[in-house]
Amino acid sequence: MSKPLQLPPTQQDKISAADLYTVLNDVSRYSCHIYDPLYLLLLDTRSVQDYQTNHIQSAFHVSAVNVAIINQNLQKFSNIIFYGADGKLDENDQFVEHAVGLLEDHDIDYDILTGGFCEFHERFPFMCNTVTAWTEVEREHKLSVYPSLILEDWLYQGNGNQARNAEMIQAMGITHILNISTEHKCDLEGVKYMHIKLQDEGSSPLIDHFENVFEFLDEAKRTKGRALVHCNLGVSRSSTASLAYMMLSERCSLGDAYTFLKQRRPISAPNRGFLLQLGEFEEYVFGKSLTDANELWLSI
């Protein structure tokens, strides 16, 4: 029987470490959102010394709210998030009090990171550094965009350039790479590969590889490794593989798996032929069709 695949419940005005990771690494087909200075205002409320020692990528110290470039654009930010050492803010801190007061005076929503810097750093140490970047040009040169987190702390999905970035792969602790492309080689040392050489065409028989994909990715999970699934852009072929894996491992329908994947990697979009193959695979897994693949395609 199919069961829903769901993200952990969210609390009002709270954001989890995994959801912040998604915000920091969200992309479109043509750009990385974090490069836009008005996409995210991430404010570190710890001491200045702690902030300067190490902070979450793209964060500013909360005192930066007084800087004109931020103060004059508060209402233009798409996301505003505070974090402390843990999941709480020191409401008696003058900088915190001032920043929160400004936002509330202008009726601007904000979130607080559950678990704070400590939990985020424990789960994603590679996303923490000492870099400060103000402008779009600085952000493009100084900030790294990492593959999307799909299943908690072990399954990631990204593009071919990320998969061939040795420094990134090592920092993330990736042990297994599933390469579904003809565009990229499997040439990093110390990583186990599975290479499926197929074009992003609906007629490519990706369904023939679904069970081997499951075995390869499940090996990474069983051995407490970390796996990266990629194609060229990280949109169609890799999404198809991630969906097939989740349908088998989580015993969920194609529709539920797709809803979940879009929350973790909004750019995900298998081509129509691959969705039809996933619909056929769903019928094989559950003995009946649970999702109309054509309707799902029309909703993309």
Tens-digit pLDDT profile for residues 203-238: 999 999 999 999 999 999 999 999 999 999 999 999
Cα angle for residues 206, 21, 60 (degrees, 5° grid) = 150
What 64-69 contacts at long range (C-beta under 8 Å, 24+ apart), as own/partner pairs, is 65/95, 65/98, 65/99, 65/102, 66/98, 69/37, 69/134
Smallest CA-to-CA distance from 247 within 196, 285, 209 is with 285
Judge whether residue 7 has pLDDT over 80: no
The DSSP bridge partners found for residue 43 are 60, 82
Largest CA distance in the chain: 62
pTM (predicted TM-score):
0.92
For residue range 13-22, what is the model confidence (pLDDT) as tens digits? 999 999 999 9
* 278, two tokens: 């996933």
Assign domain 14-142 to its CATH architecture: 3-Layer(aba) Sandwich (3.40)
Q: Give CA torsion, residues 210, 212, 216, 222, to 10 deg.
A: 90
Same fold, 14-142 and 148-299: no
DSSP string, 267-283: T----HHHHHHHHHHHH
Q: How does residue 134 score in pLDDT terms, banded at 50, 70 and 90?
A: very high
Q: Is 231 a catalytic residue?
A: yes
How far apart are the C-alpha atoms of 148 and 145, rounded to whole Å?
9
**What is the residue extent of each domain of the chain?**
14-142, 148-299
Strands 192-196 and 176-180, by their bridges, are parallel
How far apart are the C-alpha atoms of 217 and 225, rounded to whole Å?
9
Sheet containing strand 148-151, edge to edge, reads: 148-151, 155-158, 227-230, 176-180, 192-196
State residue 53 phi and psi, 5-degree precision: -75, -40
For residue range 37-92, what is the model confidence (pLDDT) as tens digits? 999 999 999 999 999 999 999 999 999 998 878 888 999 999 999 999 998 888 78
For residue range 258-284, what is the model confidence (pLDDT) as tens digits? 999 999 999 999 999 999 999 999 999
For residue range 143-154, what is the model confidence (pLDDT) as tens digits? 999 999 999 989
Assign domain 148-299 to its CATH architecture: Alpha-Beta Complex (3.90)
Specify the pLDDT at position 8. Answer: 53
Cβ atoms < 10 Å from Cβ of 141: 11
Give me the amino acid identity at 165.
N
Q: How many residues does the chain have?
A: 300
Mean pLDDT for all residues in the chain: 94
Task: Determine which one of 32, 128, 186, 231 is catalytic.
Answer: 231
The DSSP bridge partners found for residue 176 are 192, 227
